[in-house]
Amino acid sequence: EIVLTQSPATLSLSPGERATLSCRASQSVSSYLAWYQQKPGQAPRLLIYDASNRATGIPARFSGSGSGTDFTLTISSLEPEDFAVYYCQQRSNWPLTWTFGQGTKVEIK
Amino acid sequence: EVQLVESGGGLVQPGGSLRLSCAASGFTFSSYWMHWVRQAPGKGLVWVSRINSDGSSTSYADSVKGRFTISRDNAKNTLYLQMNSLRAEDTAVYYCARATLRHNWFDPWGQGTLVTVSS
Protein backbone atom coordinates (compact mmCIF):
# COMPACT_ATOMS: atom_id res chain seq x y z
CA GLU A 1 0.00 0.00 0.00
CA ILE A 2 1.31 3.42 -0.97
CA VAL A 3 1.55 5.88 1.90
CA LEU A 4 1.44 9.64 1.36
CA THR A 5 3.27 11.83 3.88
CA GLN A 6 2.50 15.55 3.91
CA SER A 7 4.71 18.22 5.43
CA PRO A 8 4.60 20.35 7.36
CA ALA A 9 1.59 19.44 9.47
CA THR A 10 0.88 23.12 10.02
CA LEU A 11 2.07 26.15 8.09
CA SER A 12 1.68 29.55 9.75
CA LEU A 13 1.78 32.38 7.24
CA SER A 14 0.41 35.85 6.64
CA PRO A 15 -1.85 36.93 3.78
CA GLY A 16 0.22 37.76 0.72
CA GLU A 17 2.96 35.27 1.58
CA ARG A 18 3.87 32.24 -0.51
CA ALA A 19 2.86 28.80 0.75
CA THR A 20 4.75 25.65 -0.20
CA LEU A 21 3.21 22.32 0.79
CA SER A 22 4.91 18.97 0.29
CA CYS A 23 3.54 15.48 -0.36
CA ARG A 24 5.84 12.48 -0.52
CA ALA A 25 4.75 9.02 -1.70
CA SER A 26 6.30 5.82 -0.34
CA GLN A 27 6.72 4.60 -3.92
CA SER A 28 6.30 6.15 -7.33
CA VAL A 29 2.80 7.23 -8.31
CA SER A 30 3.94 8.71 -11.62
CA SER A 31 1.77 11.83 -12.01
CA TYR A 32 -1.34 10.26 -10.48
CA LEU A 33 -1.67 12.78 -7.67
CA ALA A 34 -4.33 15.30 -6.75
CA TRP A 35 -4.68 18.07 -4.19
CA TYR A 36 -7.84 19.07 -2.33
CA GLN A 37 -8.74 22.04 -0.14
CA GLN A 38 -11.06 21.71 2.83
CA LYS A 39 -12.38 24.62 4.86
CA PRO A 40 -13.98 24.11 8.31
CA GLY A 41 -17.46 22.61 8.06
CA GLN A 42 -17.22 22.19 4.31
CA ALA A 43 -16.64 19.33 1.91
CA PRO A 44 -13.26 19.04 0.21
CA ARG A 45 -12.76 20.71 -3.18
CA LEU A 46 -10.53 19.47 -5.98
CA LEU A 47 -7.72 21.94 -6.67
CA ILE A 48 -5.10 20.13 -8.74
CA TYR A 49 -5.24 16.85 -10.64
CA ASP A 50 -2.61 14.81 -12.44
CA ALA A 51 -0.01 16.59 -10.28
CA SER A 52 -0.05 19.91 -12.11
CA ASN A 53 -3.42 20.65 -13.72
CA ARG A 54 -5.76 23.14 -12.09
CA ALA A 55 -9.36 22.04 -11.75
CA THR A 56 -12.14 24.14 -13.21
CA GLY A 57 -12.52 27.50 -11.50
CA ILE A 58 -9.36 27.26 -9.42
CA PRO A 59 -7.39 30.53 -9.34
CA ALA A 60 -3.99 30.72 -11.01
CA ARG A 61 -2.25 31.38 -7.67
CA PHE A 62 -2.57 27.64 -7.02
CA SER A 63 -0.03 25.45 -8.79
CA GLY A 64 1.14 21.88 -8.49
CA SER A 65 4.37 20.24 -9.48
CA GLY A 66 6.30 17.00 -9.15
CA SER A 67 6.24 13.42 -10.33
CA GLY A 68 7.27 10.05 -9.03
CA THR A 69 7.44 10.38 -5.25
CA ASP A 70 7.80 14.10 -4.51
CA PHE A 71 5.06 16.65 -5.10
CA THR A 72 4.49 20.28 -4.19
CA LEU A 73 1.43 22.50 -3.96
CA THR A 74 2.29 26.18 -4.14
CA ILE A 75 0.01 29.09 -3.35
CA SER A 76 1.84 32.08 -4.78
CA SER A 77 0.22 34.78 -2.62
CA LEU A 78 -2.15 33.76 0.14
CA GLU A 79 -5.62 35.24 0.11
CA PRO A 80 -7.74 35.24 3.30
CA GLU A 81 -9.95 32.48 1.84
CA ASP A 82 -6.95 30.18 1.31
CA PHE A 83 -6.47 29.42 5.00
CA ALA A 84 -7.67 25.83 5.16
CA VAL A 85 -6.49 22.22 5.27
CA TYR A 86 -4.94 20.73 2.14
CA TYR A 87 -4.81 17.04 1.30
CA CYS A 88 -2.91 15.18 -1.37
CA GLN A 89 -4.35 11.98 -2.84
CA GLN A 90 -3.07 9.17 -5.01
CA ARG A 91 -4.68 6.34 -6.92
CA SER A 92 -3.26 2.83 -7.04
CA ASN A 93 -4.17 0.64 -9.99
CA TRP A 94 -3.68 -2.72 -8.31
CA PRO A 95 -5.60 -3.06 -6.19
CA LEU A 96 -7.76 -0.16 -7.37
CA THR A 97 -7.77 2.02 -4.27
CA TRP A 98 -7.23 5.63 -3.33
CA THR A 99 -5.32 7.09 -0.37
CA PHE A 100 -5.00 10.55 1.12
CA GLY A 101 -2.18 12.20 2.95
CA GLN A 102 -2.81 13.29 6.52
CA GLY A 103 -3.25 16.92 5.55
CA THR A 104 -1.45 20.24 5.99
CA LYS A 105 -3.22 23.06 7.80
CA VAL A 106 -2.42 26.52 6.49
CA GLU A 107 -3.20 28.95 9.29
CA ILE A 108 -3.01 32.69 9.72
CA LYS A 109 0.15 33.81 11.48
CA GLU B 1 -25.52 22.67 -11.57
CA VAL B 2 -23.97 19.42 -10.42
CA GLN B 3 -25.25 18.51 -6.98
CA LEU B 4 -24.75 15.61 -4.58
CA VAL B 5 -26.89 15.38 -1.46
CA GLU B 6 -26.23 12.73 1.18
CA SER B 7 -28.79 11.50 3.68
CA GLY B 8 -29.37 8.65 6.08
CA GLY B 9 -26.82 9.42 8.76
CA GLY B 10 -27.60 9.29 12.44
CA LEU B 11 -26.93 7.59 15.75
CA VAL B 12 -26.67 3.81 15.72
CA GLN B 13 -25.55 1.27 18.32
CA PRO B 14 -22.43 -0.83 17.85
CA GLY B 15 -23.27 -3.85 15.74
CA GLY B 16 -26.14 -2.04 14.07
CA SER B 17 -26.80 -1.14 10.45
CA LEU B 18 -27.44 2.01 8.48
CA ARG B 19 -27.96 2.83 4.82
CA LEU B 20 -26.66 6.08 3.40
CA SER B 21 -28.01 7.62 0.21
CA CYS B 22 -26.52 10.17 -2.16
CA ALA B 23 -28.94 11.85 -4.56
CA ALA B 24 -27.30 13.16 -7.70
CA SER B 25 -28.54 15.85 -10.06
CA GLY B 26 -27.27 18.14 -12.79
CA PHE B 27 -25.33 15.49 -14.71
CA THR B 28 -25.72 12.10 -16.39
CA PHE B 29 -25.33 9.97 -13.28
CA SER B 30 -25.11 6.69 -15.18
CA SER B 31 -21.93 7.81 -16.94
CA TYR B 32 -19.78 8.31 -13.85
CA TRP B 33 -18.03 6.21 -11.26
CA MET B 34 -18.89 7.23 -7.71
CA HIS B 35 -17.08 7.08 -4.37
CA TRP B 36 -17.68 7.23 -0.64
CA VAL B 37 -15.10 8.95 1.58
CA ARG B 38 -15.28 9.39 5.34
CA GLN B 39 -13.76 11.73 7.87
CA ALA B 40 -13.73 10.97 11.59
CA PRO B 41 -14.17 14.02 13.85
CA GLY B 42 -11.04 16.16 13.72
CA LYS B 43 -9.25 13.68 11.47
CA GLY B 44 -8.28 13.35 7.82
CA LEU B 45 -9.98 11.94 4.76
CA VAL B 46 -10.24 8.19 4.22
CA TRP B 47 -11.46 6.58 1.01
CA VAL B 48 -14.14 3.98 1.72
CA SER B 49 -15.51 2.53 -1.50
CA ARG B 50 -16.12 3.04 -5.22
CA ILE B 51 -18.52 1.73 -7.83
CA ASN B 52 -18.28 1.88 -11.60
CA SER B 53 -20.86 3.53 -13.81
CA ASP B 54 -23.17 0.53 -14.31
CA GLY B 55 -22.69 -0.96 -10.86
CA SER B 56 -20.95 -4.11 -12.09
CA SER B 57 -17.64 -3.44 -10.30
CA THR B 58 -16.89 -2.28 -6.78
CA SER B 59 -13.93 -1.99 -4.42
CA TYR B 60 -13.51 -1.27 -0.73
CA ALA B 61 -10.98 -0.15 1.82
CA ASP B 62 -9.76 -3.04 3.95
CA SER B 63 -11.28 -1.44 7.04
CA VAL B 64 -14.84 -1.86 5.72
CA LYS B 65 -14.53 -4.88 3.44
CA GLY B 66 -17.16 -7.50 4.24
CA ARG B 67 -19.23 -5.04 6.31
CA PHE B 68 -20.11 -2.26 3.85
CA THR B 69 -21.76 -2.58 0.44
CA ILE B 70 -21.84 0.14 -2.19
CA SER B 71 -24.57 0.13 -4.82
CA ARG B 72 -26.39 2.46 -7.17
CA ASP B 73 -29.73 2.91 -8.88
CA ASN B 74 -29.12 4.72 -12.14
CA ALA B 75 -32.86 5.06 -12.77
CA LYS B 76 -33.16 7.01 -9.52
CA ASN B 77 -29.80 8.84 -9.84
CA THR B 78 -28.90 7.61 -6.37
CA LEU B 79 -25.81 6.09 -4.79
CA TYR B 80 -26.01 3.97 -1.63
CA LEU B 81 -23.78 2.69 1.12
CA GLN B 82 -25.15 -0.14 3.22
CA MET B 83 -23.21 -0.30 6.47
CA ASN B 84 -23.51 -3.38 8.67
CA SER B 85 -21.77 -4.51 11.86
CA LEU B 86 -20.96 -0.92 12.69
CA ARG B 87 -18.17 -0.13 15.12
CA ALA B 88 -17.29 2.95 17.12
CA GLU B 89 -14.41 3.60 14.75
CA ASP B 90 -16.88 3.98 11.86
CA THR B 91 -18.07 7.23 13.43
CA ALA B 92 -17.44 9.90 10.80
CA VAL B 93 -18.90 12.28 8.29
CA TYR B 94 -19.51 10.30 5.11
CA TYR B 95 -19.15 12.10 1.80
CA CYS B 96 -20.15 10.90 -1.63
CA ALA B 97 -18.09 12.16 -4.54
CA ARG B 98 -18.29 11.91 -8.30
CA ALA B 99 -15.24 10.61 -10.11
CA THR B 100 -13.76 12.61 -12.96
CA LEU B 101 -13.98 10.83 -16.28
CA ARG B 102 -10.20 10.82 -16.67
CA HIS B 103 -8.08 9.32 -13.94
CA ASN B 104 -10.87 9.10 -11.40
CA TRP B 105 -10.28 12.11 -9.17
CA PHE B 106 -13.08 13.25 -6.87
CA ASP B 107 -15.08 16.22 -8.09
CA PRO B 108 -17.47 17.40 -6.79
CA TRP B 109 -18.30 16.21 -3.28
CA GLY B 110 -21.55 16.23 -1.38
CA GLN B 111 -21.92 18.11 1.89
CA GLY B 112 -21.65 14.93 3.95
CA THR B 113 -23.81 13.08 6.47
CA LEU B 114 -22.73 12.28 10.03
CA VAL B 115 -22.79 8.71 11.29
CA THR B 116 -22.30 8.21 15.01
CA VAL B 117 -21.82 4.70 16.38
CA SER B 118 -22.32 4.69 20.12
CA SER B 119 -24.27 2.94 22.83
Q: What is the mean pLDDT of residues A41-68?
A: 97
Residues B101 and B28: beta-carbon distance below 8 Å: no
Rounded CA-CA distance A48/A40 in Å is: 20
Q: What is the pLDDT of residue B80?
A: 98
Is A79's pLDDT higher than 90?
yes
CB-nearest partner of B103 from A91, A96, A101? A91
Q: How far apart are CA A76 and CA B72, in angstroms?
A: 41
- Per-residue pLDDT for chain B (119 aa), expressed as one digit of tens each? 999 999 999 999 999 999 999 999 999 999 999 999 999 999 999 999 999 999 999 999 999 999 999 999 999 999 999 999 999 999 999 999 999 988 789 999 999 999 999 99
By 3-state DSSP, what share of chain A in percent is helix, strand and coil, each rounded to 5?
5, 55, 45
Mind spelling out the 3-state secondary structure of B52-112?
Answer: CCCCCCEEECCCCCCCEEEEEECCCCEEEEEECCCCHHHCEEEEEEEECCCCCCEEEECCC
**Smallest CA–CA distance from B96 into chain A, residue:** A43
Cα of A53 vs its chain's centroid, Å:
12
Number of neighbours of residue B72 by Cβ within 10 angstroms: 23
Partners of B61 on chain A (C-beta within 8 Å) are 97
Q: State whether residue B27 sits within 8 Å of chain A by CB.
A: no
Instruction: Determine the residue of chain B that is closest to A49 in CA distance.
Output: B105
Shortest Cα distance, chain A CAs vs residue B107, angstroms:
6
Interval A3-49: pLDDT, tens: 999 999 999 999 999 999 999 999 999 999 999 999 999 999 999 99
Q: How many Å separate Cα A14 from the centre of its chain?
A: 19
Q: How far apart are the first and last CA of chain B?
A: 40
What is residue A91's three-state secondary structure?
strand
Which residue type occupies A20? T
Name every residue whose Cβ is closer than 8 Å to that of residue B77 and which is 6 or more positions away in sequence: B23, B24, B25, B29
Residues of A in contact with B44 (CB under 8 A): 87, 100-103
Whether B74 and B54 have beta carbons less than 8 Å apart is answered as yes
